[in-house]
Amino acid sequence: MNAAAPAGRTALVIDDDPSISTLLQIILKREGYTVTCIRDGREAQKAIEDGAVPALVTLDLMLPHVDGYALLELMRAREAWRNVPVLMLTARSQEKDMARAMERGASEFIVKPFKPEELRERVRRLVGASS
Amino acid sequence: MSARPRQPAPAPGNRQTAGGALPLALRYTHVSLPVTLLLTLLATTIAWHAAENALEASTRAHFEFRVTEITDAIRGRITDYAQVLRGGVALHAASESVEWYEWRAYVDTLRLENTYPGIQGIGIVHRVAHAHAGAFVTAMRRHSTAFGITPPGERPEYFAVRYIEPMNERNLRALGYDMYTEPVRRAAMERARDSGEAAVSGKVTLVQEGPTGTQPGFLVYLPLYANGAETGTQAQRQRALTGYVYAAFRMADLMRGLLGGVPDLRVEIFDGHEVSDEGRLYDSARDTARDEASFVTVSRVVVADHVWTVRTSALPALMASVDRTRPRVVLASGIAISLLVTALVWTLATTRARALRLAARMTRDLHQSREQLTMALEGSKLALFDWHVTEGTVALSESWNVMRGGPAQPTLTTIDRLEGTVHPEDAPRLRHHLAQVLRGAVPYYEIEHRVRTYDGRWKWIVSRAKVTERDENGRAVRLTGTNADITEKKVVEEMKDEFVATVSHELRTPLTSIIGGLALIKEDSATLPEETRVLLDLAYENAERLAALVNDILDIEKLEAGRIALEPKALELPALLRHALRVNAPYAERYGTRFELAEPVPPVRIWADEARVLQVLTNLLSNAARFSPADAPVTVRASEREGRTRVEIADRGPGVPDEFRSRIFTRFAQAHTGGNAPHGGTGLGLAISKAIVEASGGAIGFESAPGAGATFWFELPLAR
């Protein structure tokens, strides 16, 4: 269960929905990540600018104050964040939203509702690829 | 280009003209009938008159002939009688003195009553000088004892009747009568004496007449001259005269013998040149009242040296005897023909009037239905279109132009130009539907698509049509239908779809939490009580189903709104099918069946969006698996035809119930096949599949007999 995740790795969950955040936290914890949850765009901005660089980011597009696109751009603008795998979470299945996110540097996306297994599969693939 | 421009609404004037023509025609009929009757009756009258005239002419001719006959007979008879007297004269010439018995014998031989009817008697008048009168009387008394010269009196000479035969009581009265004493007789006697020829006396009453039954008469004299005496001059003849042979005629008797019965004519004979009552010798119809006769002829007959005037009149009997059949036939048949002609004219006129009335009514009905149609079209804002398929021309009513933001006027264009106004994304779908209805594959065509307005915006219209005319080979000649502006409806629909999308979208996040949470619990469920595990599974399955439903709703909303961008590319059909079967194999397992791909699959490439085609295949395969009985395989078969590929998925399930066939491709149209548990699925799979296939320029359908399985198929274009 925890075997796949290297010990001490951190994951940053940026999502304004507390239940999703909790769910992601549990799933990623079980994957061996130390999870930090941020529920606001501005906070996320601060974390990117000042905080430690995580091994994985899950990012919701729809956030208060600063949206997912802006955060993506912010991350990719920083050297340290450039290669951090970012998994986009979206309730929108519109292709153009996905395309926009991918253009701005998203590594992968997953559409709600998703199953924990699907998330795990993507996380493993992303982290494996980036490391 | 023989266009079929829509007639604009009829001008009100047209209708008035149509309405006005009728009373005029009827008025004409009302006039024509009496005129016809009058004219034909006039013609009849003329013909009748002509026939009457012809009849009268022929009657007159007949009458004239009869008159001529009568006058000729009179003249001939008198001539004949003169001849008889000449015989008497000859008798005297042969002997110095003719004895009474000789005279009797002569007259007897004449058989007067039979041969010469009307002669009262033939006699001899003897000239006796006064000196010899006594001796003469004495001599006469020898055989006629009562003989005496009458009237008595002294006269220088006497002309006494010496013999008269046949000797009967009537003639006996004449014996001894001195005719010379009576002026009328005397005139005739003198003429005869002087001319030596027969002389006819004027009207007299014979001395033979008794007190009753008197009738006018006349006498004919022939002079007797002394034998051997000179008679060359009038004076010599006067000297030589010895007497006369004479005949006495009772006019009525004479004419009776001459004419016989003439009931149809009135013959009147007058002495001399005048018609006068005093001179009337004879009247064949004396007892008949005199009335205005149709025909009267007055002619003169010369009898010997005398003139008679004969007046002949037609009696009613003559007119009655005339055959009047012809004019009557003419009149009767004329009237009959008049009535017939009038009836015929009447019939024609009423037929014409009826026809006109009918035509007027039909015209009115036509105008009315046109007007109704126009009003209905205007009211419903429908644009009528009429596509002449073989000629490629399209006529559209005013609403079409109005719809596109132009002036209210009919449009006449070509199908190519019309297609140019259609949104490029809608064009393939439109073409496909049109082709189907033209081919006769579907009876009716209804499609929503966009058209460009004059100012470059897009308007949604719904186009409905059917083929209204086909040629003998079944090829479509005309396609007629309507276009309606549904932009507003589309806007509302879009708002509704947007709402659905938003709701669905908002459902996703909580669903993710539910599914994720349940899934995580399930991972550690080994330690949970059995009942909890069952409930957990139940919650998880239904959460998944809800998620699928939300996905499908969003899918179909996007597909039907045309908001999904397909990314078609060439796809190898065999590989595509194998992949679909492999991916969906778990479905088959779940329902205890399996998928079989019928070989060979045509090695063709189709032109479609891979993910979407797979979605269609997944929908159809999962459907088939759900309805398939355990152990009965679902067969997938592919074929190629006319630039298209056809994929069939056949199951051996209960088939599609009849009541469900027509709406199987509509949303949430799930069949409830008897007894079985709900078949799972969202009820949107077929609707989504249809939307995808049609958006890809293909077609989808099924064949099924209840109880004998169902075969769902779809056709997609091949890659070029």
Find the helix or strand (DSSP H, E) in which B398 lies.
helix B398-403
Q: What is the assigned CATH class of domain A10-125?
A: alpha beta
- pLDDT bin (cut points 50, 70, 90) of residue B696 is confident
B554 interaction partners in chain A (CB closer than 8 Å): 93
Closest Cβ opposite residue B515 in set A17, A22, A115:
A115
Cross-chain Cβ contact A113/B517 below 8 Å:
no
* B174–A contact, CB cutoff 8 A: no
If phi > 0 it is left, if psi is from -120 to 50 it is alpha, else beta; for residue B304 that is left
* A112–B contact, CB cutoff 8 A: yes
The reported pLDDT for the residue numbered B533 is: 86
**Rounded mean pLDDT, B88-110:** 83
- pLDDT bin (cut points 50, 70, 90) of residue B673 is very low
DSSP-derived pairing of the beta strands B458-470 and B445-452: antiparallel
Q: What 3-state class would DSSP assign to B682?
A: coil
The reported pLDDT for the residue numbered A36 is: 92
The reported pLDDT for the residue numbered B672 is: 52
pLDDT at A35 over 90: yes
**What b/e string do you get for B249-283 counting C-beta neighbours within 10 Å, with b at 16 or more?**
bbbbebbbbbbeebebbbbbbbbbeeeeeebbbbb
**Rounded mean pLDDT, B509-520:** 87
The reported pLDDT for the residue numbered A12 is: 93
The reported pLDDT for the residue numbered B647 is: 93
pLDDT at B171 over 90: no
Q: What 3-state class would DSSP assign to B228?
A: coil
The reply to whether CATH 1.10.287 applies to domain B492-558 is: yes
Q: What percent of chain B has a predicted confidence (pLDDT) above 70?
A: 92
Nearest partner of A44 among A28, A66, A22, judged by Cα: A66
**Rounded mean pLDDT, B5-28:** 47
Please, which residues 52-91 of chain A have a Cβ atom closer than 8 Å to chain B? Answer: 91
Task: Identify which has the larger pLDDT, B199 or B319.
Answer: B199
Is the fold of B99-260 the same as that of B381-485? yes
pLDDT at A131 over 60: no
Place of tokens 């004895």: B99
What DSSP state is assigned to residue B490? H
pLDDT at B7 over 50: no
B514 interaction partners in chain A (CB closer than 8 Å): 113
**Rounded mean pLDDT, B481-508:** 81
Closest Cβ opposite residue A91 in set B508, B543, B565:
B508
Distance, in Å, from the CA atom of B335 to the CA atom of B43, rounded to the nearest integer, reads 9
**Rounded mean pLDDT, B498-522:** 82
Find the helix or strand (DSSP H, E) in which B713 lies.
strand B710-717
B570 pairs with which residues across the strands?
A: B607
pLDDT, one tens digit per residue, over B435-461 is 888 888 888 888 889 999 999 999 999
Nearest chain A residue to B567 by CA distance is A95
> Cis link prior to A113 (omega < 30° from 0)?
yes
Residues B633-637: contacts with CB within 8 Å, 24+ apart? Answer: B633/B593, B633/B594, B633/B595, B633/B596, B634/B588, B634/B593, B634/B594, B634/B595, B634/B596, B635/B596, B635/B598, B636/B577, B636/B581, B636/B595, B636/B596, B636/B597, B636/B598, B637/B598
Task: Identify which has the larger pLDDT, B382 or A33.
Answer: A33
Residue of B512, B520, B524 to mutate, interface with A, max A Cβ within 10 Å: B512
The reported pLDDT for the residue numbered A93 is: 56
pLDDT at B253 over 80: yes
Please state the CATH superfamily assignment of the domain spanning residues B99-260 in this structure. Answer: CHASE domain (3.30.450.350)
What is the domain partition of chain A in residue ranges?
A: 10-125
Which region among B20-24, B317-321, B578-582 has the lowest average model confidence (pLDDT)?
A: B20-24
Looking at domain B381-485, which CATH architecture does it have?
2-Layer Sandwich (3.30)
B311 pairs with which residues across the strands?
A: B268, B298
**Rounded mean pLDDT, B513-531:** 86
**Rounded mean pLDDT, A36-57:** 89
Cross-chain Cβ contact B565/A95 below 8 Å:
yes
Which region among A113-127, B338-352, B476-490 has the lowest average model confidence (pLDDT)?
A: B338-352
Start-to-end Cα distance in chain A: 20
The reported pLDDT for the residue numbered B10 is: 45
The reported pLDDT for the residue numbered A13 is: 94
Question: Can you give A44-102 as a three-state secondary structure string?
Answer: HHHHHHHCCCCCEEEEECCCCCCCHHHHHHHHHHCHHHCCCCEEEEECCCCHHHHHHHH
Cross-chain Cβ contact A114/B551 below 8 Å:
no
pLDDT, one tens digit per residue, over B292-350 is 767 888 888 888 888 999 988 888 777 777 777 878 888 888 888 888 888 888 888 78
**What b/e string do you get for B93-131 counting C-beta neighbours within 10 Å, with b at 16 or more?**
eeeeebebeebeebbeebebeeebebbbbbbbbbbbeee
**Rounded mean pLDDT, B75-98:** 83
B506 interaction partners in chain A (CB closer than 8 Å): 91
Which region among B17-31, B354-368, B370-384, B700-714 has the lowest average model confidence (pLDDT)?
A: B17-31
Distance, in Å, from the CA atom of B333 to the CA atom of B244, rounded to the nearest integer, reads 67
Q: What percent of chain B has a predicted confidence (pLDDT) above 90?
A: 14
The reported pLDDT for the residue numbered A7 is: 54
The reply to whether CATH 3.40.50.720 applies to domain B565-717 is: no
* A120–B contact, CB cutoff 8 A: no
The alpha-helical segments, DSSP class H, found in B176-231 are: 183-195
Place of tokens 């509702």: A113
Distance from CA of A80 to the nearest CA of B (A): 31
* B8–A contact, CB cutoff 8 A: no
Question: Can you give B498-532 as a three-state secondary structure string?
Answer: HHHHHHHHHHHHHHHHHHHHHHHHHHCHHHCCHHH
Find the helix or strand (DSSP H, E) in which B270 lies.
strand B265-271
Nearest partner of B126 among B165, B175, B172, B60, judged by Cα: B175
Task: Identify which has the larger pLDDT, B227 or B24.
Answer: B227
ipTM reported for the complex, 2 dp: 0.80
* B131–A contact, CB cutoff 8 A: no
Distance, in Å, from the CA atom of B523 to the CA atom of A115, rounded to the nearest integer, reads 12
B565 interaction partners in chain A (CB closer than 8 Å): 95
pLDDT at B16 over 80: no
* Residue type present at position B609: D
Find the helix or strand (DSSP H, E) in which B469 lies.
strand B458-470
The reported pLDDT for the residue numbered B24 is: 53
Nearest partner of A11 among A39, A65, A52, judged by Cα: A52
DSSP-derived pairing of the beta strands B411-414 and B458-470: unpaired
**Rounded mean pLDDT, B504-516:** 83
What is the domain partition of chain B in residue ranges?
A: 11-94+324-380, 99-260, 381-485, 492-558, 565-717
The reported pLDDT for the residue numbered B188 is: 92
Asked if B408 contacts B402 with a C-beta cutoff of 8 angstroms, the reply is yes
The reported pLDDT for the residue numbered B719 is: 83
- pLDDT bin (cut points 50, 70, 90) of residue A92 is low
pLDDT at A72 over 80: yes
The answer, as to whether pTM is greater than 0.80, is no
